[in-house]
Amino acid sequence: MLISLRNDHKEHLNLLTTQSVQVLIDFCKLAIDFLQNGPNLKLYTTAAEKLSVDLDAVQNCIYGLVNLLLLSCKYKLSEADFRDSILTLGFSSEQQTILHKFYESKKTEVARIITKLSVSEPHYDDLEWRFEVQVSSRALLHQVVPLMTLDLSLKTMKDDGSGYEKEHLLLQTDVNNLLHITQELEKALIESRSRHSRKIQRALNS
Amino acid sequence: MKFDENIKKSLNLANNATAVTDATFKGLLENCFSVLTGLPEPHNVTNLYNSKPDLVKELYAALLSITAEFVRSGQKSDSIRDFLNKCGYNEAKISFYTDLYDRNREEIEGSLINVGSHLPHITDVTWKIDYIIKSSCVDASEGPLFRIGLQTEKYNSEIGGKKVELVNFTCDSQELQDLVYKLKDAVRHCQRIGSEH
């Protein structure tokens, strides 16, 4: 599919169409730097002086590139679709190759992050278990109660997307319930690989 | 098994046939074992009081104390027989007591085991499989995504009973595989211990 960009977005990127390949490469590098370290006004001022344009125009170019990257990742564009989408912006074939390389280099990383950003809910992280036998307590001196103590660790994406917040839940269960839970979850796993599930998955992917 | 002299004195009240008739004694014992197993009292206490409510109450308290202590320390009916004998109980009373004791002991142990602080106890699990068709951030389907709810029970002092809470989390296929693998490992461990002894 093709993505259509907003008009102001097109205007912002327009400056780059008239620049040399080397300048475009440098801007792509600046955009990558922006993704990793945030805005760097010093670099943008230098770039603006070299090209003798406004600082704003340079900044808008960088933001435009980043936005282009995010949109392309959102729609998971193939190479052909990506090229067609930027063709309308007036980039030359050589420039398209550069921009595609820029997209390819960051595609997986950005895609991974934006899928996780969507709805943050507690997510399974790890499970530790310990088998215990309760042999005595204040209320009953002699007893033998086998118990399974579980440390379930869950992670939730922080609001600003900067990482995970982990929480540890200490739970216990008896042997019967442990067996029941294990069998039940295994059923879920088997079900997800059943013909019915795979059929739906294929239908959704196509 | 050591008891306070006061309790022994209170137990001795059962030997006072005018204040505590055999029927009263039996009624008290039936109440005592019912309460300790967590059931309501089968006899109305006021009907058991007769002319001496204070003595009956004192005896009832003592019977509750010794019964709980017998179960707590895991006494067999033989040693209980000895103890009650020393309190001057006749054979009929002792047999009636030990009979009830043997019948209810396991039940009372069960309720005593649950006294104390425990971690939330997992009793059940729910699961469902979701596929994400589209979201505000990504225009592509993704899945399967497992939504798992562990049902846990924990004693809650405010409501004076068990409170059921759900622990909800999500995981993808690989993570669920990891979880199942770890749980199976734990189950295998339990089975090995079971078969060794």
pLDDT digits (tens, 9 = 90+) for A143-182: 888 999 999 999 988 777 677 889 999 999 999 999 999 9
Instruction: Choose among A62, A10, A56: nearest CA to A37.
Output: A62
- Helices B91-113 and B53-72: crossing angle in degrees, nearest 10, is 60
Given a cut of 70, whether residue B22 has pLDDT beyond it is yes
Residues of A in contact with B121 (CB under 8 A): 171-174, 177
Q: Does the CB of A136 have a partner CB in chain B at under 8 Å?
A: no
Torsion angle in degrees (nearest 10) through CA of B41, B43, B46, B51: -130
Residues B146 and B65 in one domain: no
Q: What is the pLDDT of residue A91?
A: 82
Q: What is the pLDDT of residue B16?
A: 79
Q: Which of A:166-185 have CB within 8 Å of B?
A: 169-175, 177-182, 184-185
Residue with the bigger pLDDT between B34 and B3: it is B34
- Helices B53-72 and B5-12: crossing angle in degrees, nearest 10, is 120
Residues B12 and B108 in one domain: yes
Residues B36 and B67 in one domain: yes
- Say how far apart CA B78 and CA A134 lie, in whole Å: 27
- Say how far apart CA B94 and CA B84 lie, in whole Å: 7
Residues of A in contact with B139 (CB under 8 A): 74-76
Q: Does the CB of B166 have a partner CB in chain A at under 8 Å?
A: no
Q: What is the pLDDT of residue A118?
A: 66
Residues B20 and B82 in one domain: yes
- Of A132-136, B10-14, B59-63, which gets the smallest average pLDDT? B10-14
- DSSP alpha helix (H) spans, B114-172: none
Residues of B in contact with A141 (CB under 8 A): 72-74
Residues B90 and B57 in one domain: yes
Question: pLDDT tens across B146-159, in order?
Answer: 999 999 998 887 87
Interchain pair B141, A140: CB under 8 A: no
What's the structural domain count of chain B?
2
Interchain pair A172, B148: CB under 8 A: no
Spatial neighbors of B168 by CB under 8 A, at least 6 apart, are A121, A122, B147, B148, B149
Q: Which of B113, B133, B151 is the last residue of a domain?
A: B113
The minimal CB distance from B180 to the residues A121, A138, A186 is found for A186
pLDDT (average), residues B52-72: 90
- The answer, yes or no, to whether the previous bond of B144 is cis (omega within 30 of 0) is yes
Q: What is the 3-state secondary structure (H, E, C) of B1-41?
A: CCCCHHHHHHHHHHHCCCCCCHHHHHHHHHHHHHHHCCCCC
A89 min Cα distance to partner chain B (Å): 23
Residues B94 and B130 in one domain: no
Residues of B in contact with A164 (CB under 8 A): none
Complex prediction ipTM: 0.77
Residues B108 and B126 in one domain: no
Question: pLDDT tens across B66-123, in order?
Answer: 999 999 998 998 999 999 988 888 898 999 999 999 999 999 998 888 887 889 999 9
Q: What is the pLDDT of residue A161?
A: 66
The minimal CB distance from B129 to the residues A76, A180, A191 is found for A191
Residues B103 and B174 in one domain: no
Residues of B in contact with A175 (CB under 8 A): 187, 190
Residues B21 and B74 in one domain: yes
The model's pTM: 0.70
Q: Does the CB of A189 have a partner CB in chain B at under 8 Å?
A: yes
Q: What is the domain range of residue B51?
A: 5-113
Q: Phi and psi of B163, rounded to 5°?
A: -120, 130
Q: What is the 3-state secondary structure (H, E, C) of A76-93?
A: CCCHHHHHHHHHCCCCCH
Residues B103 and B129 in one domain: no
Instruction: Choose among B53, B28, B24: nearest CA to B41.
Output: B28
Residues B129 and B147 in one domain: yes
Q: Does the CB of B188 have a partner CB in chain A at under 8 Å?
A: no
Interchain pair A131, B184: CB under 8 A: no
Q: What is the pLDDT of residue B125?
A: 95
- Say how far apart CA B113 and CA B120 lie, in whole Å: 15
Question: pLDDT tens across B166-192, in order?
Answer: 999 999 899 999 999 999 999 999 999
Q: What percent of chain A has pLDDT over 90?
A: 25
Residues B103 and B163 in one domain: no
Per the listing, tokens 């033998």 go with A144
Q: Which of B87, B113, B139 is the last residue of a domain?
A: B113
B8 min Cα distance to partner chain A (Å): 22
Q: Which of B57, B79, B113 is the last residue of a domain?
A: B113
Interchain pair B190, A148: CB under 8 A: yes
Residue with the bigger pLDDT between A159 and B162: it is B162
B178 min Cα distance to partner chain A (Å): 8
Q: One digit per residue, pLDDT tens: chain A, 206 residues?
A: 777 788 888 888 888 888 888 888 888 888 888 888 888 888 888 888 888 888 888 888 888 888 888 888 888 888 888 888 888 787 888 888 888 888 888 888 887 777 766 667 899 999 999 999 999 988 888 888 899 999 999 998 877 767 788 999 999 999 999 999 999 999 999 999 999 988 988 887 76
Q: Does the CB of B116 have a partner CB in chain A at under 8 Å?
A: yes
Interchain pair B150, A76: CB under 8 A: no
Q: What is the pLDDT of residue A183?
A: 95
β-strand partners of B88: none
Interchain pair A142, B74: CB under 8 A: yes
Residues of B in contact with A127 (CB under 8 A): 178-179, 182-183
Domain ranges of chain A: 7-117, 123-205
